[in-house]
Structure 1
Amino acid sequence: MGLAHLSVPRAPAARGTKAHERLESREERNSGSMADHPKEGNRFRAPDFTQLIDMASESVGGKILFATDDFFAPAENLIKSDPPIFKEHEYTEFGKWMDGWETRRKRTPGHDWCIIKLGIQGIIRGFDVDISYFLGNYAPRMSIQAANLEEDKLPEIPQRGIRTGAAAKPEEFEAIDELKSNGWNYLVPMAELKAREPGSSHNYFSISSQQRWTHIRLNIFPDGGIARLRVYGTGQKDWIATDPKETSDLAAIAYGGVCVGFSNAHFGHPNNMIGVGKAKSMADGWETARRLDRPPILENDENGILLIPGCEWAVFRLAHPGVITQIEVDTKYFKGNSPDNCKLDGCILTTQEEEDMIKEKWNLPAHKWKPLLPVTKLFPNQSHLFDSLTLELQDVITHARFTIAPDGGVSRLRLNGFPSSICLLRSREKPMMRFSVKPGFKANL
């Protein structure tokens, strides 16, 4: 695969990866269509879309804007990143402590609902409505609506504060009414929720909408509890609004970047590296198992690079084709298990070529890859900033392969550069290459 002195192992992908890759490929193929009605997923097996990012999670900036009632437990619990738990003997002054959103038993007309601002805005592929531990008090039915709202046109909504034991005040209803959420698009029409095992009662709903969404309205009928709401999908950036003088992280998961293949992910998925914000702990990064083929006694070459035959790798599809100008590799929290070195390569692939490479475990011919960063020494618990080897703006790529040797962990990988539609409009001495870009730009610039 042309990795200098590094050789790519033919290690099997981790469980769930192929499903993730097939899903992403289908998304590309189906990007021009939208179903009239959402399709309900299989409730009893986690579907492929659960391999995608939870766009509503508090860990990526998801936020509860409004809830009609939070009497037993506040709606903020819906978007916790951790799985729900149960404390058998714990009570509050309002009743049983529950790790979810639970409203009082409704004695007035109507039903309960809440509004969530997505932390990552983009295309929704599916929902997990989790009612774990709410066996005697879960909401029997629910529906989900969505909207794409412009941030600068949103009304001022009162801060929620501590909500347990409270219901929405008239001024909160008045402010939220400006969103006209009753008329939002239905992604999931009214559907029954089913309880299974106490600690595992997931209800899955797959979505085929291709629109970009920023806000979710969860309706429960008429009242009750839900432990978690997971909103799985892919980010989508408004590239038209990108400042041509500013670089963007072209691999960011919030913009639509995604890992489409890797050699090993024993302790953490490579998608963690392109996550939102700074890593919160070692668990919030990509970490591989220790390679069993490492030599008994290690030695360096003349440049201080370990002489080790193996390596681990991850391949990313960029959120948008573009030119990488700067690379950030952050090993924060990895103090005794960071890689010795890394390198980065890029290439241009069509959707069909990507699918073929997935089948071949990314055994891509060496001539396809362009070196963006040569084999470079890394250090523990440190942010490294490197200039890309790209010298000319026509070196556009769609995919990047990040390689570490011999193994270890990286918390964040940032691939900063310019989207291709901006680069191709810049003046240059050599003729520009021609290719199609994503919707929103003129094709074949």
Structure 2
Amino acid sequence: MADSPREGKVARPPDFTQLIDLASEFVGGKILFATDDFFAPAENLLKRDNPSFKEHEYTEFGKWMDGWQTRRKRIPGHDWCVVQLGIQGVIRGFDVDTSYFTGDHAPRVSIQAANFEEDKQPEIPQREVRTGAAATPEEFEAISELKSDDWSCLVPMTELTPGNPASSHNYFPVTSQQRWSHIRLNIFPDGGIARLRVYGTGQKDWTAGDPKEPLDLVTVAYGGACVGFSNAHFGHPNNLIGVGTAKSMADGWETARRLDRPPILENDENGILLVPGCEWAVFRLAHPGVITQIEIDTKYFKGNSPESCKVDGCILTTQEEEDMVRQKWDLPGHKWKPLLPVTKLKPDEMHVLDSLTPELQDVITHAKFTITPDGGVSRLRLKGFPSSICLLRPREKPMMRFSVKAGFRANL
């Protein structure tokens, strides 16, 4: 018999939880419909913060809970809600979190999904966030336009664990490679769930849009992802490529202070700090491309921004990326080519910089952002133009545009 998690011993989260939460209100996710919001509204499911518990707090409808909680059902059927993802993309896994719902959690759950093109989505009236209420006949009629009963099933009906500290996270991996825009969360028959995390990668239709307009090729909204980093003590590097501007220091990448800093700091002849160490993060672009402009925003980092930074790029196959992850990104120096030389950074400021390599032959698939010696940055934008590539031998320089070689996995 397999060991079950014991009280106080939390199981290690699966790898997909390192991806972006496509449903978070932070990236624009929203609840379109819920059958019932009696004790707590479904909007709580999409909060970015971890759930909390206030032992002695009550509302006029009952115990205050930080999640979605429906009334005890006394009519036929079950409760469900519809979520419009903030970022449309490929879903790698779910976390149905029942934290603090110990005697009133939803006993079972299933999850369905659908994909609607933006110009083909039915018009759903904006929902009012409220407690103590159930969906009106008019709301049922409006949501029926989505025909959510017939959506694809990503998670079949499965029992949930109650919200004890060691067992509140219910993880469900997903193998589908399809692009999704909406989620239907079914609970059977009623109860409470604290959070719904929909982990995955964004996916963009690269044939749409103006080909003359540069795009941010690294943003999570299009499928960019952090695939390696040296330190993430105060914030994950995925925050760097997040949607919109940073909301606070917590919405950036910040490292611990390096312990190998000299006791007394000195500059070189160019005004750059003489320190032995640095911190770095590697990103897979959403699409291979040519980077023409780099934006580095240190907003909110007023006393803890890096002294300087640089950006390098390279071409890697899927297999090479996997090898580098295993090797902690100890990549031979000749693979990297400079996109931005060592550049001094200012605190709490947007830096807009031209790339060193705007020529068509300088296509990259991965970028490495290095800060010296440590500190925090809120956003990194690598703007340019998507392009096809070939896989080249080291130091071989192409003189024309190429097609993608079989075996290269781009996020198309």
Give the TM-score taking structure 1 as reference length.
Answer: 0.85
Q: CA deviation at 1:341?
A: 0.6
Q: How many residues align?
A: 395
Residue in structure 2 matched with residue 411 of structure 1 by the alignment:
378
**Residues 107/391 of structure 1: CA separation in 2 closer, same or farther (3 Å cut):** closer
**Residues 126/391 of structure 1: CA separation in 2 closer, same or farther (3 Å cut):** closer
Per-residue displacement from partner, 1:57-103 (whole Å, max 9, x unpaired)? 11111100000111111000111111111112111111111111111
Structure 1: where are the runs of 5+ without partners? 1-41, 423-428
Residue in structure 1 matched with residue 401 of structure 2 by the alignment:
432
Distance between the aligned counterparts of 2:126 and 2:319, measured in 1? Answer: 48
The answer to whether structure 1 residue 299 and structure 2 residue 266 are counterparts is: yes
The counterpart of 1:267, out of the listed 226, 231, 234, is: 234
The answer to whether structure 1 residue 362 and structure 2 residue 329 are counterparts is: yes
Distance between the aligned counterparts of 1:382 and 1:45, measured in 2? Answer: 37
Per-residue displacement from partner, 1:326-375 (whole Å, max 9, x unpaired)? 00010111111111111111000111111222222222222211110001
**Which residues in structure 2 correspond to 1:187-206 (within 5 Å)?**
187-195=154-162, 197=164, 201-206=168-173
Q: CA deviation at 1:435?
A: 3.0
Q: 1:62–1:120: 8 Å Cα contact kept in structure 2?
A: yes
Per-residue displacement from partner, 1:108-131 (whole Å, max 9, x unpaired)? 111111000011111111111111
Distance between the aligned counterparts of 2:280 and 2:138, measured in 1? Answer: 53
Deviates more, 1:289-298 or 1:372-381: 289-298
Residue in structure 2 matched with residue 217 of structure 1 by the alignment:
184
**Which residues in structure 2 correspond to 1:111-126 (within 5 Å)?**
111-126=78-93
Distance between the aligned counterparts of 2:150 and 2:292, measured in 1? Answer: 44
Distance between the aligned counterparts of 2:215 and 2:358, measured in 1? Answer: 18
Q: CA deviation at 1:431?
A: 2.4
- Paired residue type of 1:61: G
The counterpart of 2:131, out of the listed 145, 157, 164, is: 164
Structure 2: where are the runs of 5+ without partners? 390-397
Distance between the aligned counterparts of 2:411 and 2:193, measured in 1? Answer: 38
Per-residue displacement from partner, 1:289-339 (whole Å, max 9, x unpaired)? 111222222222232221222211111111110000000010111111111
**Which residues in structure 2 correspond to 1:16-165 (within 5 Å)?**
44-165=11-132
Distance between the aligned counterparts of 1:439 and 1:292, measured in 2? Answer: 38
SS in 1 for 2:207: helix
SS in 2 for 1:175: helix
The answer to whether structure 1 residue 383 and structure 2 residue 346 are counterparts is: no
Q: CA deviation at 1:415?
A: 0.4
**Residues 439/260 of structure 1: CA separation in 2 closer, same or farther (3 Å cut):** closer
Distance between the aligned counterparts of 2:411 and 2:365, measured in 1? Answer: 17
Q: 1:133–1:199: 8 Å Cα contact kept in structure 2?
A: no
Q: 1:339–1:378: 8 Å Cα contact kept in structure 2?
A: yes
- Paired residue type of 1:132: S
Q: 1:340–1:405: 8 Å Cα contact kept in structure 2?
A: yes
Deviates more, 1:160-169 or 1:397-406: 160-169
Residue in structure 2 matched with residue 327 of structure 1 by the alignment:
294
Distance between the aligned counterparts of 2:122 and 2:402, measured in 1? Answer: 45
Distance between the aligned counterparts of 1:82 and 1:328, measured in 2? Answer: 27
Q: 2:287–2:410: 8 Å Cα contact kept in structure 1?
A: no
SS in 2 for 1:272: helix
Give the TM-score taking structure 2 as reference length.
Answer: 0.92
**Residues 395/181 of structure 1: CA separation in 2 closer, same or farther (3 Å cut):** same
Distance between the aligned counterparts of 1:67 and 1:196, measured in 2? Answer: 22
Residue in structure 1 matched with residue 205 of structure 2 by the alignment:
238
- Paired residue type of 2:352: L
SS in 1 for 2:143: helix
Distance between the aligned counterparts of 1:143 and 1:227, measured in 2? Answer: 15
Percent identity between matched residues is 79
Q: CA deviation at 1:434?
A: 4.1
**Residues 156/104 of structure 1: CA separation in 2 closer, same or farther (3 Å cut):** same
- Paired residue type of 2:96: V
